[in-house]
Amino acid sequence: MRLKHVKKAEEKINHSTYLIKEPQQYKGNFKSLFQNNNEIHIEIGTGKGLFLLQMAKTYPNINFIGIEKYDSVIVRAIEKIEENPLDNLRFIRMDATNIEEVFDHEINTIYLNFSDPWPKDRHEKRRLTSSVFLKKYDTIFKDKKHIIMKTDNRHLFEYSTISFVKNDYKIDDISLDLHKEQTENIQTEYEIKFSNLGYPIYKIEVSK
Ligand SMILES: C[S@@+](CC[C@H](N)C(=O)[O-])C[C@H]1O[C@@H](n2cnc3c(N)ncnc32)[C@H](O)[C@@H]1O
């Protein structure tokens, strides 16, 4: 992306009330941001926000926060919410590596949708379902820990399933071809793309 476009994206998101600019200041008290005691669900690697925009519309009594590391991507989510305002959705631009600096025992559910697979062994720690990340998530969950993951990547799916179990999660639900099942499902951008190409979508829901 050209520098001019990156600068434009940066300006646009920095002017939006939907971007939480200094998220650390709400640590342990994100309910004050939403001004209610509703559950808080986050999506890590939210991309252009399609999933959370739809979730927030469908579930007005849940608060949602989308976390995305790139300005050039999150700007699309910000543009969409500016056009169709929602009180129960906000975004944070950050690398989730620092997630435990932002939340403290206040999150009810984490969504991991089509996370980057990082296929090389030496990059394992970067996978959002590695033990490194799962240990960080332990500090941000309120009481019950609840993760819902979808992916088209078989290797990441198998790796994540093992990682969840190794970290004491129990499997509540699992699907090897989500779109063949008649379940309620809000799709993500990548999910639409990959299922249109004929790939099966894997889903796993775990808790502890
Ligand atoms: C493959 S895309 C999937 C986007 C969206 N969840 C979907 O399903 O359409 C992965 C996204 O996660 C973001 N991402 C990857 N690692 C991240 C991290 N450590 N912290 C925040 N965002 C991350 C990437 O920038 C990218 O936008």
pTM of the model: 0.96
Instruction: Quickly count helices (H) and strands (E) in the chain.
Output: 7, 7
What is the full DSSP assignment across 13-40? HHT-TTB-S-GGGGTT-HHHHHTS---E
Which residues sit with their C-beta closer than 6 Å to ligand 1?
A: 44-47, 67-70, 73, 95-97, 113-114, 116, 188-191
Active site residue 104: no
Distance of CA 93 to the CA centre of its chain: 12
pLDDT at 54: 98
Ligand 1 mutation pick, 1, 20, 44, max ligand atoms within 8 A of CB: 44
pLDDT at 1: 54
Who contacts 201 (Cβ-Cβ below 8 Å, separation ≥6)?
Answer: 150, 151, 152, 175, 177, 178, 179, 191, 194, 195
Mean pLDDT over residues 114-120, rounded?
Answer: 97
What span, in angstroms and rounded, lies between the C-alpha atoms of 168 and 147?
Answer: 13
Task: Tell me the CA–centroid distance for residue 129 and ligand 1, in Å.
Answer: 13
Mean pLDDT over residues 77-100, rounded?
Answer: 96
Q: Which of 113, 13, 104, 117 is nearest to 55 (CA)?
A: 113
Reported as a single tens digit per residue, the pLDDT across 195-204 is 999 999 999 9
